[in-house]
Amino acid sequence: MTPSPRLLAGTVLSVLAFALPAAAQSTGDTSPIDHVEGQPPATGADSKAAGKPVETEAANAPDQTPAFENQTRAPQPAEMPKVATETVAEGLPHLWSMEFLPDGRMLVAAKKGSMHIVSKEGQAGAALDGVPEVVSSGQAGLLDVALAPDFASSKTILFSFSEPREEGNGTSVAKARLVEDGNGKARLEDMAVIFRQMPSYDNTKHYGSRLTFAPDGALFVTVGERSDRETRVFAQDLASGFGKVFRIDLNGKAMPDNPFVSREGAQPEIWSYGHRNLQSAALDGQGRLWTVEHGPKGGDELNRPEAGINHGWPVITYGVEYSGGAVGEGLTAKEGMAQPVYYWDPVIGPSGMAFYDGEEFPEWKNSFVIGGLVSTGLVIVHLDGDKVSHEERVPLEARIRDVKVGPDGAIYAVTENPSAGSSSVIRVSRAD
């Protein structure tokens, strides 16, 4: 797929971006990379009383008030299961994502650009051939991986990655066939890039990205707005691919019933907009998309993106700039812009998310399990309809990059240690 010529304002941004000196592309604040490597807020390790919010640290934006009850700091549930943890794989390269294969093995994607199959015994195979070159500095890398709905017959996988381009880089989606030779080796064949977030931009921040298949076979692709003040405003621009959720088919084309397919100048692949940096996405029991995105300091958000909805960034947001100043005009609400279902202040640093419908934890039925880079554990969000009723946390004392529900109903969490360049996979099961 070649880059689309239909960029309008996005093209103007691309030209402007490369004319700016490097310093002008800075947010002017502490790096978002430092933000997600910061000190953790409450993790649940202090055994907060049931019925009380697990988060007791001071808010970064104490003057902001939620729009409705339990939009933030929801109480813990009355009953919380005790958990047991075990490491099922360790010494892995620094991972960004994992997906279970039908036979229980794990397909993992490493940030620096390799893909591996991890056996049930926790042993990683050799790097797969056929993975394209990726940008891997900063927040860039080989990102999410997902199995196509017909994987059992087609062996097709999809993956997102930070693609190097002449004009900079950007989040791209590729598909390929996973081929195994029967002797323990595997490779990708017929690899093709099917979709590119456009325009390209020359930094290494806020790529997103999660891949989630809907029941109708459509692929949701979440991306970031590339962080800088010059780019964040384009989360509001339908001609730009920054700060969006896309909905495409397996060939990378816009689904015909997408909300903006008939709007002149809009990118037809767009499903929702006004997002900051979406690194968590999952379907609920009704097959609807939910996401969690990195907000500014004190503004991580749980959202339920719907067709054509504007989620407000950077016009409205909870939280503040990393410097402590207001984001824009300091607004948390505006007509025509959706409120987050829930927000965290202080932040959890979300990455990876799964809807829980297993048998291991009946207390977590119909809840979302979210990985925390800053909260260093699992964040469990219980729903009552389309709102949050309770929040609890499972401390794992590690940065959590991805979360999956295993075939056995246990939770599998991918940890990361950026300084050591390594990851582990932890199995979380019931202790009683």
Q: What are phi and psi of 25, to 5 degrees?
A: -90, 0
Per-residue confidence (pLDDT) for residue 40, from 0 to 100? 53
pTM, two decimals, is 0.91
- Cβ within 8 Å of residue 330, ≥6 positions away: none
> Using CA atoms, how far apart are residues 339 and 114, in angstroms rounded to an integer?
38
Q: In the chain, what is the straight-line distance between the N-terminal and C-terminal CA atoms, in Å?
A: 52
> Using CA atoms, how far apart are residues 239 and 407, in angstroms rounded to an integer?
41
| 163 residue type, one letter | E
From the number of C-beta atoms within 10 Å of its C-beta (0-12, 13-18, 19+), residue 329 rates as: exposed
Instruction: Tell the residue number behind the tokens 């969690």, with chain if given.
Output: 292
> Using CA atoms, how far apart are residues 90 and 349, in angstroms rounded to an integer?
23
| 220 residue type, one letter | F
Q: Which residues are catalytic?
A: 206
Per-residue confidence (pLDDT) for residue 9, from 0 to 100? 35
> Using CA atoms, how far apart are residues 402 and 393, in angstroms rounded to an integer?
15
Cα atoms in the 13 Å half-sphere on the side-chain side of 160: 28
Per-residue confidence (pLDDT) for residue 182, from 0 to 100? 79
Per-residue confidence (pLDDT) for residue 51, from 0 to 100? 86
Question: Each residue's pLDDT tens digit in the chain (432 positions)?
Answer: 333 333 333 333 433 343 332 322 333 333 334 445 444 555 555 567 788 999 999 999 999 999 999 999 999 999 899 999 999 999 999 999 999 999 999 999 999 999 999 999 999 999 999 999 999 999 999 999 999 999 999 999 999 999 999 999 999 999 999 999 877 789 999 999 999 999 999 999 999 999 999 999 999 999 999 999 999 999 999 999 999 999 999 999 999 999 999 999 999 999 999 999 999 999 999 999 999 999 999 999 999 999 999 999 999 999 999 999 999 999 999 999 999 999 999 999 999 999 999 999 999 999 999 999 999 999 999 999 999 999 999 999 999 999 999 999 999 999 999 999 999 999 999 997
